[in-house]
Amino acid sequence: MENEIKMFYDLTAERTAEEWYCENILKSTIHDFISLLPKNPQVLDLGCGPGHESMRLNQAGAKVLGIDFSEKCIDIARQRCPQCKFEVNDFRFLDDEYGRFEGVFACASLIHIGPEELGKVLSNIKNVLVDGGYVAVVIVEGKGINEKLSMLEVKGRKLNRTFYLYTRNYLRKKAEKAGLKYVREGYLDEKLMKDGWRNYLFQSM
């Protein structure tokens, strides 16, 4: 399953970059998040893909490190967004090798983390945040697995990029156990809201 998720993002990296580097639907979401942080904050873009939102985080004033387990995505990110730093890394095993951050932006990345690993990943995030640092978690509200968004065909290959749904209450309980307190719902464009996407903001306790 893990290999299929990685293959999906390797195969779609170029298409994603072409679509999202010119798509500003998350620009206001990023400015809302950055407004919580000190000036010129250190921000980790968790599951950064080809770097499109890393670029916007940087444009909003952040010093950005983007990590992703797709080598193809990181190659594109380094080419298209040289003002940010990028590393190949599986955030399920994230530690403090990159230092600590005032903010972690986790947009559409925890959707691939199952309930059995979610608590550990949230603890990883807590451990790389400075005291009082913030994390934005952008997920699709719901329960279980969205089969329609999981099973996709890319370049003739049928791949399962398992897409997990979480409710705010479930995520909040998991986050609080990891040492992250719920702050509020962050801004998201209404188009994304209609599709079930939500942006939840937490702070390191």
Contact criterion met (CB below 8 Å) for 52 and 127: no
pLDDT tens per residue across span 6-49:
989 999 999 999 999 999 999 999 999 999 999 999 999 999 99
- What's the average model confidence in pLDDT over 120-142? 97
pTM: predicted TM-score of the whole model, two decimal places:
0.95
Report domain extents, the chain. Answer: 2-204
Contact criterion met (CB below 8 Å) for 20 and 51: no
pLDDT tens per residue across span 104-118:
999 999 999 999 999
Architecture per CATH, domain 2-204, reads as: 3-Layer(aba) Sandwich (3.40)
Q: In sequence order, what are the beta bridge partners of 45? A: 66, 105
pLDDT > 80? residue 2 = no
- What's the average model confidence in pLDDT over 71-78? 98
148's CB contacts (< 8 A; 6+ apart) are: none
C-alpha angle with apex 203: 146 to 74, nearest 5 degrees?
55
Q: In sequence order, what are the beta bridge partners of 153? A: 158
